[in-house]
């Protein structure tokens, strides 16, 4: 299949690599020349514009940082909708606005195209391993046509409903994850400074009512001090902002979500913008005069 791919950075690059490995013909575009070069080394054809990536493509994937980028690439002048033939599919893997996704899907329908919002979860590790979760919004037909492609880089792809539903689920998932991450950093620091072996604390909570995927993965990363920026605080602020905006639009109270948004934005504005979201534990350590990072480097 001839596939266009816009945005081959930290997430898009590994996803594109799986498509290339499966034998698909990829035309890729990115503003970062290094990312383009890496994709080309894997067998993709690097092009110099969005339009070039979309010409004659049966499917075009997007993996972009912000909703405004998605809107410009898809429906801006010279964007995908201007150059793609009827019957083709645009698949947006970005974490974006449900409202924007619904609007783009309607515009696509008017042009005889399909648009799927298909944000992913699983991080860079999942993208590289091909074990992402994909949350898809859009028509049943377009989802079923795209399923074989999702299967190349995802452990699970689920149609969540009509256009916008994928980004609704992603917003809810990320809001919950970030609330859990902030609570995890506080709980781990508190228990460790109180004198409990952090490995024991981690083991007991994992067998108790406080257990979660976030607790298990976040405590492992903090105790091993493996906090390279795989998911930056700036991106977390963008994602939780989408969830809070959706809550405002629907008049749903989300006091925990809003409090977490304010906390993350405070960290972002005080030196943690490009740090991993869990690296914000350093601010708590400073206030507590106790360092929990790296105190159990052998934790599994």
Q: Which of 118, 146, 162 is the last residue of a domain?
A: 162
pLDDT, tens only, 176-212:
999 999 999 999 999 999 999 999 999 999 999 999 9
Is the pLDDT score of 230 beyond 90? no
Decide if pLDDT at 224 tops 90.
yes
Query: Does residue 297 sit within a domain?
Result: no
- List the CATH number of the domain containing 224: 1.10.1040.10
Q: In whole angstroms, how far apart are CA 107 and each of 62, 113, 172, 194, 277?
A: 17, 8, 25, 57, 35
Q: Residue 3 has what pLDDT?
A: 98
| Strand pairing category for 154-161 and 132-137 | parallel
Residue 283's domain spans which residues? 168-288
Q: Is residue 298 part of a domain?
A: no
Residues 156 and 211 in one domain: no
Taking alpha carbons only, the member of 275, 280, 264 closest to residue 232 is 275
The answer to whether position 295 is within a domain reads no
Q: What pLDDT is stored for residue 37 in this prediction? A: 95
Residue 283 confidence class, pLDDT cut points 50, 70, 90: very high
Give the pLDDT confidence score for residue 114 in this predicted structure.
Answer: 98
Q: What pLDDT sits at residue 188?
A: 98
* Domain identity same for 239 and 120: no
Is it the case that residue 249 has pLDDT exceeding 90?
Answer: yes
Indicate if 246 and 146 belong to the same structural domain.
Answer: no
pLDDT given for residue 192 in this prediction: 97
Model confidence, pTM: 0.94
Is residue 194 domain-shared with residue 80, that is, in the same domain?
no
Catalytic, 170? Answer yes
Query: What pLDDT score was predicted for residue 229?
Result: 86
pLDDT band at 228 (very low <50, low <70, confident <90, very high): confident
Residue in 129, 156, 170, 193 annotated catalytic: 170
Number of domains in the chain: 2
What are 76-128's pLDDT values in tens digits?
A: 988 999 999 999 999 999 999 999 999 999 999 999 999 999 999 998 999 99
**Domain match, 158 and 186 both:** no
């Amino acid at each position: 299949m001839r596939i266009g791919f816009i945005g081959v950075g930290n997430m898009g690059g590994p996803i594109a690599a799986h498509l290339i490995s499966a034998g698909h013909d990829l035309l890729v575009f990115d503003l970062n020349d290094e990312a383009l070069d890496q994709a080309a080394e894997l067998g993709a054809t690097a092009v110099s514009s969005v339009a070039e990536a979309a010409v004659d493509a049966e499917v075009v994937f997007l993996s972009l940082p912000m909703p405004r980028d998605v809107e410009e690439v898809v429906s801006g002048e010279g964007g995908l909708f201007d150059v793609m033939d009827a019957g083709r599919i645009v698949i947006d893997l970005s974490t974006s606005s449900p409202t924007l996704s619904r609007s783009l899907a309607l515009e696509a329908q008017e042009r005889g195209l399909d648009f799927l919002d298909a944000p992913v979860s699983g991080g860079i590790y999942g993208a590289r391993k091909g074990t992402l979760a994909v949350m898809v919004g859009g028509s049943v037909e377009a989802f079923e046509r795209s399923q074989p492609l999702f299967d190349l880089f995802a452990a699970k792809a689920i149609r969540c409903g009509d256009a916008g539903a994928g980004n609704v689920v992603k917003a809810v998932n990320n809001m919950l994850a970030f609330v859990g991450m902030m609570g995890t950093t506080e709980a781990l620091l508190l228990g460790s400074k109180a004198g409990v072996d952090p490995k024991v604390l981690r083991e007991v909570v994992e067998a108790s009512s406080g257990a979660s995927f976030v607790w298990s993965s976040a405590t492992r990363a903090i105790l091993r001090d493996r906090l390279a920026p795989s998911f930056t605080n700036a991106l977390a602020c963008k994602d939780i902002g989408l969830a809070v905006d959706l809550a405002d639009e629907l008049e749903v109270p989300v006091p925990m979500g809003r409090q977490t948004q304010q906390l993350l934005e405070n960290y972002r504005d005080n030196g943690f913008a490009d740090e991993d979201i869990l690296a914000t534990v350093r601010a708590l350590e400073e206030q507590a005069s106790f360092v929990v990072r790296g105190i159990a480097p052998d934790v599994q």
